Structure 1
């Protein structure tokens, strides 16, 4: 599998501080590594939003990578802070 970013996730990356950017890039590398080497992801939770099959990966205390998996590819839909994540799922992040 490979990891791809949506336009929205790319914009979110560009808006991060240097420290958060470093953490997000490390988390993206980890997702990529897991997608290539393992049959299951670790430290990932299912996100219930409508009928979409979305997952969240904790990049740091302040960031969640929200992604889907389809056609042999991990597609990062968005990179969210806890408030944004809470609004998306309707519960505490």
Structure 2
């Protein structure tokens, strides 16, 4: 299994139903922006989430749905990874 395949499988295996409760500079990680979620999880800010965003992603689906101020934003994790050079 090559690295592209592993990364794709990892993205597809994510299951997330949570809300963004804070966005902050992580002093322990070179002041990179991090998002803190209502489920206690914290991760580097890879997508421009906003505080209050509700996020829903089913396992096996590449689309993450972001509910923001009455709108639904579709974030295709595989496409974002390709744009950022993480997938070929």
Q: TM-score, normalised by structure 2?
A: 0.30
Q: TM-score, normalised by structure 1?
A: 0.29
Q: Which has the larger radius of gyration?
A: 2
Decide which structure has greater helix share: 1
